[in-house]
Structure 1
Amino acid sequence: MSDQGSRLKERLKSTGELLLGGARKQIEEYKDKFENLKGIYDKFLSELFVHYSGATTDTIFIDSFFGKRNLSFAGIDGSVHKQEVFDLLIFFAGAYSSYGTVHVKDSGEIEVEYEEEYLEKGFGVSSILPVYINEIPRIDQTLLQRDSQGVIDDSITFGDSWIVDNSAFADYLMGLAEFYIAYKLVSKENPIDVLIMDRILSAEIASFYAETSEFRISLDKECGLIGSEVDGKEFSYTEWVYARTLVGNSGLGTPPPRGEYLLHRVICELLNNPKGMTRDEIETKLKLDTDTRKTRLDKELEQGMKRKGFVEGIITRKGKVYQIHPRYKDIRSRVKQLLEETCERIFSEDSSVTYEDRFKIDGRWLTTNDLSFLSLMSIFFTMEACWENNSLLLGVAKDTSARDLKRQFIPALKDLGGISQTFDDKSKDTPDTDRMILQWVSLHERERLEVPWAIREYDTAFKTVVPHFEGIKGLVSGARRNQISLNKTFVKSYFQLCQAVSDVKLRSNVLLYDRLVYPEIDSEADNILILKHDYLSRPEDPEPIEVVVADASNNPMQTFVMSLFSRMTSMSIPELFGHLKPLYVADKVAKYYQEQFRGMVESAGTWLLQRPELREFLFYLSTFRERRSEHERTRRNT
């Protein structure tokens, strides 16, 4: 560039050339990566595919699991909107459901019937919060800048535009709305039999668990729920911390008695045994069979009894008997009551319930941390209800960038002898996302790989499994801080439903689903593999981890899921090509309400400007952006 700079026309030309050249180079490199996938279907990937063309549901499984042939289902999706009105930012979020019935015939074929009057009969919740822009950092903790220890740096400030553009409060509120609806649908008197969410639930749990950690946030300053009254007693720091550990199923042996979950499992066992347990009884119950694991149990029991700052010990000991502290024996029921009371206020249909009643407790704002905690509890109680009622809980993702099939699952499965080969040296020179790999393979192997198909279901714990840090064969390590996430809780699979009649190369997108694990169908020996986790850097004494890898030849649950999904897609509606109608309908309902709300906000702004007592105030004190927008609207309309 010359000292005098470049002319705008020349600058635009060079920018365009740079754009085209860069895009062309990236596309060519990506094409080369796809070329490296040739032959992998025959080499090993075919061992993971399960074909479901013409498959019918196992009626014995349906009768055993659901206990009936006519099954209710619901699909849930949410909507979110935020809009500036003068110096306010208005948050709106809601979630809505579609309904229908699945009829399973004696032949195993499935028919799906939809509730057509979904606007009138569908179930939904929503809420609205108008808040001054300068107050948003008080409720949206995602905007705060923290140092390496998690301490907030108050010296960093941002302009209004940045706050408006980056605030995620409405997104957190939408998530809570979706999870709370899910909880309500599976815990009512006649619970939904099949619940489909537009979320990957295993990922949501991991995210919310991390976001609500007492090591990451300041519980006394950044959480409005702490100190709120539940049945006459304050909700405490201790209840917040330990409520996050309460997910588990005794039939599955979860939470697992290993790694960071050992104390969680001890707490769950003591909650289920009100009279308490001795150390030996706990050791026997958890099958801790090595000196290393027994020593860890002693340390975790001590940790459970120790006070840490505001957080009391949840375990007490009297003689040889360990018990839950009397103050926290009803922690499950108290947390459930807190969830229901708070969410009923937030999403109340009563317009007399003010936004302060909805989003403040004793003058303290509910923050994104609180919404994360309530979302996590909603998921936990949804899971409990699904286990209790045998309701099938499914989450579906349309566009996923997940890479664990390629990076974690296939290498680990080969080490366990479950697959013959892996990507080996070509791994770095192939597409990086599982979805793109499977999409390409499906296209090029279309004559042999009929739709619908799915990958064998595998444990979502594989997402955090990596080869042993020191390369010791037969052992694995955890991806982050040598920790491996919850096992035997969710399984996942990739699937593809259909192809166009007019062009066999045109196939629907590869989607991802995860579903809840159930003890009566997923705990059979044929579905369980054992990983050996070197958790304490003692390779001679690893911790065993049971993971679910479904038997490809006999998985009646996946057969039902794929048969159901195949009936829920459509070839005649472009947006439904390879997608699921319950989620499509729920999305349309959500967008309808979003548009209705958008119109309300715009009308409210116009109404405020016309009020004589407010017009002068708003005109002279409005923001620069608001004045500019008003001038632009006036210019367009004249």
Structure 2
Amino acid sequence: MSNTEGEVISSLSTQIQRAGTLLQRGAADQIEGYQSRFQTIEGLHERLFKNLIVSDFDPKMGFETAKKLFGTEHVSFAAVDGTDYARPLFDLIVFFGGSYATRGTITYNDKSPPSVEYENHFLKGGRALSSCIPVFVNEVPEIDQSFFQQGGSSEVTTARPLTDEMIANNSTIPAWIMTLSEFYLAYRLAKEPDPPRIILLDRSLSSTFPNLIFDSSKRQLWMSNGALHGLQLDNIPLDVNDLAYARYHFYVPELQLPPARGDSLRYRILLELENNGPMTKNQLFQRLGTGSPDRQARVEKFVQKSIKDGYLEETNGLYQLTERYRTTWPRIRKLVETIGQRMFEEKPKENPMKIEKNGSWHWLTTQDMAFLTLFTLNMLIEECLTKNILLLGLAKDTAARDLKNHVLPVLITNGVWKSEISQTDLSNLPNTDRMLLQSLSIFNHKQIPVPWSLVEYDASFL
């Protein structure tokens, strides 16, 4: 008996010693790797980043900019953040998602840094939205698109065992509730009679939009895997055309948005006709800035397809939006506000994540939540443009690599940013943008006093 115990103790001791050795060697390899990467940073500030990092902030310039943008040096703001969780409860899973806005005022001074004052009594005066959704475990895969087969099938995948714990831990439902609540709360704040002049969101807007476009892109599933299609609004059922058009419904002609290219060209054509009335082809070409014959041919192709799909009609050479789709956006706004109020503000008799369609109740799927979140973002952008509200997204992604992997190589190779640094040196920099910039700041603390900021680069790199 003692020999057996001794063998067991010896075996465990050996395994513990082996694990410690593996951990030590693995950590040493990582440290050595980063030491070599840190060597690449030496001299990088002078060779490249001295013109890309701003650490000298002029209070007077900030004061004048605030006066120009907002008409006052006292600027109200609201910062929105969210939380979510899932908890099993017997044969139910309770999903929670919500968001809260803290508010305050930024006062810009011409001779000293801005000051920030937060509102008191936030429990009484603060704005918050949340929803608690109980769902039977067996119904979760019907709602959550992440459990569906990839590639277009609407059947639940059986590639992995769907245990209760796995469903609760891996469901994306609470994250979708939280995301929708954040954008809906920001929209509600922007709709107030005296809205905050700056709205801060805890996410990158330039990456959130394409992600939402992707999450709502499987057109073959719009009818089968969601409850929005066919929903009656003002006695008109939502169809595929309504959903497709509303995904790109943000019109900022001064910024050429949506851009007259790629997938968004078709919807830019519809938006031009919706906002500016009937046009001839030549007038459309001029509005879209399509001067070359090949681009004009592409516009004409989409015009003809839009006529075939029922979006447009042509009379005596004039093209206009059909009556059916002139009401698309008002009905979509009504849809978002109705579901948002029901999910986050009212006390509904039915589950807040169910909607009534054709006399029966249907679950909103995560595909529907992607649509609703995207529509809410478009509504928020529209409201901010109308009321001159500055909408900012703050990203703190520690794994971001856009600057190192895309921005620097592209702009240096094309001579936009002048530097003799080679592509090999760029590839040997620390792996993430955060580590690169933090290391650069530490190694050059005399040249880069805090606080500092990287110059803005175009969101096309995200």
TM-score over 0.5 (shorter chain): yes
Q: Which residue of 1 aligns with 2:225?
A: 222
Q: How does 1:578-589 map to 2 (within 5 A)?
A: none
- Paired residue type of 2:223: D
* Match of residue 163, structure 1, among 139, 163, 167: 167
- Paired residue type of 2:287: K
- For 2:437 and 2:308, locate their aligned partners in 1 and report how far apart those are by CA, in whole Å: 50
Q: How does 1:154-553 map to 2 (within 5 A)?
A: 154-156=157-159, 158-215=162-219, 218-274=221-277, 276-307=278-309, 313-350=310-347, 353-362=348-357, 363-421=361-419, 422-463=421-462
How far is 1:108 from its partner?
Answer: 6.7
Matched, 1:71 2:75: yes
- Paired residue type of 1:16: G
How far is 1:415 from its partner?
Answer: 4.8
What TM-score comes out, normalization by structure 2 length? 0.92
- Paired residue type of 2:448: L
User: What SS does the aligned partner of 1:97 have?
Assistant: strand
Could you tell which deviates more after superposition, 255-264 or 378-387?
255-264
- For 1:141 and 1:360, locate their aligned partners in 2 and report how far apart those are by CA, in whole Å: 18
- For 1:174 and 1:404, locate their aligned partners in 2 and report how far apart those are by CA, in whole Å: 26
How far is 1:107 from its partner?
Answer: 4.2
- For 2:296 and 2:267, locate their aligned partners in 1 and report how far apart those are by CA, in whole Å: 16
What CA deviation, in whole Å up to 9, does each residue of 1:308-340 have, x standing for no partner?
A: xxxxx4222233222112101021211111100
With over 3 angstroms needed to count, the CA separation of the structure-2 counterparts of 1:361 and 1:30, relative to structure 1, is farther
The answer to whether the 8 Å contact 1:128/1:355 transfers is no
- Paired residue type of 2:457: Y
The answer to whether the 8 Å contact 2:98/2:130 transfers is yes
The answer to whether the 8 Å contact 2:147/2:156 transfers is no
The answer to whether the 8 Å contact 1:77/1:197 transfers is yes
- For 1:52 and 1:150, locate their aligned partners in 2 and report how far apart those are by CA, in whole Å: 55
How far is 1:225 from its partner?
Answer: 1.6
Q: Which residue of 2 aligns with 1:129?
A: 133
User: What SS does the aligned partner of 1:297 have?
Assistant: helix
User: What SS does the aligned partner of 1:420 have?
Assistant: coil
- For 2:413 and 2:308, locate their aligned partners in 1 and report how far apart those are by CA, in whole Å: 40
- For 1:281 and 1:240, locate their aligned partners in 2 and report how far apart those are by CA, in whole Å: 27
Deviating runs (4+, > 6 A) in structure 1? Answer: none
- For 1:150 and 1:400, locate their aligned partners in 2 and report how far apart those are by CA, in whole Å: 34
How far is 1:377 from its partner?
Answer: 1.2
- For 1:102 and 1:85, locate their aligned partners in 2 and report how far apart those are by CA, in whole Å: 44
How far is 1:31 from its partner?
Answer: 2.1
What CA deviation, in whole Å up to 9, does each residue of 1:369-410 have, x standing for no partner?
A: 111111111111111111111111111122332222222222
The answer to whether the 8 Å contact 1:53/1:450 transfers is no
The answer to whether the 8 Å contact 1:81/1:91 transfers is yes
User: What SS does the aligned partner of 2:199 have?
Assistant: strand
What CA deviation, in whole Å up to 9, does each residue of 1:8-35 have, x standing for no partner?
A: 4433332332222212212221221122
The answer to whether the 8 Å contact 1:50/1:453 transfers is yes
With over 3 angstroms needed to count, the CA separation of the structure-2 counterparts of 1:355 and 1:40, relative to structure 1, is farther
User: What SS does the aligned partner of 1:80 have?
Assistant: strand
The answer to whether the 8 Å contact 2:54/2:455 transfers is yes
- For 2:12 and 2:321, locate their aligned partners in 1 and report how far apart those are by CA, in whole Å: 72
User: Percentage identity across aligned positions?
Assistant: 32
The answer to whether the 8 Å contact 2:248/2:267 transfers is yes
What TM-score comes out, normalization by structure 1 length? 0.67
The answer to whether the 8 Å contact 1:402/1:434 transfers is yes
| Aligned residues: CA RMSD | 2.1
- For 2:275 and 2:366, locate their aligned partners in 1 and report how far apart those are by CA, in whole Å: 32
- For 1:58 and 1:14, locate their aligned partners in 2 and report how far apart those are by CA, in whole Å: 58
- For 1:414 and 1:260, locate their aligned partners in 2 and report how far apart those are by CA, in whole Å: 29
- Paired residue type of 2:378: F
How far is 1:53 from its partner?
Answer: 4.7
Could you tell which deviates more after superposition, 22-31 or 102-111?
102-111
With over 3 angstroms needed to count, the CA separation of the structure-2 counterparts of 1:16 and 1:58, relative to structure 1, is closer
How far is 1:96 from its partner?
Answer: 0.4
The answer to whether the 8 Å contact 1:52/1:451 transfers is no
- For 2:251 and 2:461, locate their aligned partners in 1 and report how far apart those are by CA, in whole Å: 18
What CA deviation, in whole Å up to 9, does each residue of 1:496-536 have, x standing for no partner?
A: xxxxxxxxxxxxxxxxxxxxxxxxxxxxxxxxxxxxxxxxx
How far is 1:163 from its partner?
Answer: 1.1
How far is 1:103 from its partner?
Answer: 2.1
Name structure 1 gaps, 5 residues minimum.
308-312, 464-638
The answer to whether the 8 Å contact 2:409/2:426 transfers is no
Q: Which residue of 2 aligns with 1:587?
A: none
User: What SS does the aligned partner of 1:100 have?
Assistant: strand
Higher helix content, 1 or 2: 2
* Match of residue 92, structure 1, among 96, 106, 117: 96
- For 1:21 and 1:218, locate their aligned partners in 2 and report how far apart those are by CA, in whole Å: 49
- Paired residue type of 1:370: D
What CA deviation, in whole Å up to 9, does each residue of 1:457-508 have, x standing for no partner?
A: 1210123xxxxxxxxxxxxxxxxxxxxxxxxxxxxxxxxxxxxxxxxxxxxx
Aligned residues: 450
The answer to whether the 8 Å contact 1:57/1:109 transfers is no
- For 2:444 and 2:85, locate their aligned partners in 1 and report how far apart those are by CA, in whole Å: 42
- For 2:356 and 2:162, locate their aligned partners in 1 and report how far apart those are by CA, in whole Å: 27
The answer to whether the 8 Å contact 1:57/1:108 transfers is no
Could you tell which deviates more after superposition, 373-382 or 225-234?
225-234
